[in-house]
Amino acid sequence: MELKKIKLHGFKSFEKQTEFEINKGLTGIVGPNGCGKSNVLDSLQWVMGETSYKNLRGSEMDDVIFSGTDTSPSRNFAEVSVIMSETNNTSDESKASGDEYEIKRRIERNSGSKYYINSIEKRAKDVQLFFADNSLGPHSISIVKQGQINQIIESKPNERRKILEEAAGISGLHHRKHEAILKLNATRLNIERLADIISVVGTEMSSLKRQANQAEKFKAIASQIRDYEKELLKIDWHSIEAKRKELDQNIKDIQDNVKNIKNEIGSLEFENKDLGDFMKPIRQEYENLIDDLQQKRSNELNLKNELQYTIEKITTASKQVDQILIDLDREKINLTDQESQLKDLD
């Protein structure tokens, strides 16, 4: 992998967009102290995924954003892009397609960083692995700062091993090995959870079977109750209807008698107004009949009230029967669902 170009915008001392062409051979960046030469090296580390602001000589990560001068206002973002080119063929599918790759990192103040490979947003880990697979990275041997050569010479064997692994392009394997171990542990946990779930499902299956048996018993009992209530309603209705007809006939007979007596009284009064003594017992009988009629009417009212109460009772019982039928339908649905669950569990 070959570095072709570095583009900086708002990074540290580079307020405006700046590009560095890296040609074949040796390319040097020279200038007086404080002109920003070290910031170019910092930008390479930063775009390769550096997460420590201390390694970038700052007190926080937002310090990489141009902070402004007496003549220029501060920026709200910083952006660094590098153009990398393939120097040989590769079959690594994790890399972007094409011979050239533009890797970009952008940070906005108080918002964190975003990474892109060929304008497609990626995770920081993806970018770090991309560089690690190509023997590059923010801490690779490809980037050597002042005083770092002595550190390499005086480093311990483990540290030298890391440097050699980065140079050989196999440091990314450690990240993948770590991820594989994490996935393996997660799979083991899932297997243990699956065993617990199987045990719970077995317990639930037994419970569902008991519930299904209870539902069958309830269904049979509810059917018997419905039949008994239907018979009871038929008996009550027929009895009340017979009483009502009998009462109506009695009232009709009394009304006919009263009408006949009134006719007789009218006839007698019309024929002989002087027969007061003769009319007295007749009047008495008439009054008695009137009293009897009132009593019958009172009885009729009571019977009608009783009939209304019975009708309301029948209506209530009918509603209860309808509710029982609804409950039975719901229980049938629940039973069907439980049987379906049992079949699925079997």
Question: Is residue 238 pLDDT above 80, yes or no?
Answer: no
For residues 76 and 2, is the Cβ–Cβ distance under 8 A? no
Predicted pLDDT of residue 93? 44
Predicted pLDDT of residue 184? 83
Specify the range with the lowest mean pLDDT, choosing from 23-32, 40-49, 223-232, 328-337: 223-232
Q: pLDDT higher for 11 or 146?
A: 11
CA 283 to CA 268: how far, in whole Å?
11
What are the structure tokens assigned to 188, written together? 């083991």
Closest to 49 (Cα-Cα) out of 122, 127, 162, 117: 127
For residues 106 and 93, is the Cβ–Cβ distance under 8 A? no
Predicted pLDDT of residue 111? 87
Task: Please provide the average confidence, as pLDDT, over all residues in the chain.
Answer: 80
Predicted pLDDT of residue 47? 92
| Reported confidence tier of residue 212, pLDDT bands at 50, 70, 90 | confident
Q: pLDDT tens digits for 69-124?
A: 888 898 999 999 999 988 765 445 444 445 789 999 999 998 889 999 999 999 98
Predicted pLDDT of residue 94? 45
Predicted pLDDT of residue 78? 94
* Most confident option among 62-71, 258-267, 326-335: 62-71
Q: At residue 209, what are phi and psi to the nearest 5 degrees?
A: -65, -45
Which spans in the chain are helix H? 37-47, 124-132, 148-154, 157-168, 171-271, 276-345
Q: What is the mean pLDDT of residues 296-311?
A: 84
Predicted pLDDT of residue 95? 46
Q: pLDDT higher for 222 or 124?
A: 124
CA 340 to CA 346: how far, in whole Å?
10
- Please give the helix or strand (H or E) that residue 84 lies within, else none: strand 77-85
Q: What is the mean pLDDT of residues 132-136?
A: 79
Predicted pLDDT of residue 275? 59
For residues 58 and 45, is the Cβ–Cβ distance under 8 A? no
Specify the range with the lowest mean pLDDT, choosing from 22-31, 168-177, 235-244: 168-177
CB atoms within 10 A of CB 108: 16
Q: What is the mean pLDDT of residues 179-185?
A: 80
| Reported confidence tier of residue 189, pLDDT bands at 50, 70, 90 | confident
Predicted pLDDT of residue 278? 67
What are the structure tokens assigned to 34, written together? 């404080």
Predicted pLDDT of residue 273? 66
Amino acid identity, residue 223?
S
Predicted pLDDT of residue 121? 94
Burial-class residue 177 by CB neighbours within 10 Å (0-12, 13-18, 19+).
exposed
- Domains and their CATH numbers in the chain: 2-138 (3.40.50.300), 204-345 (1.10.287)
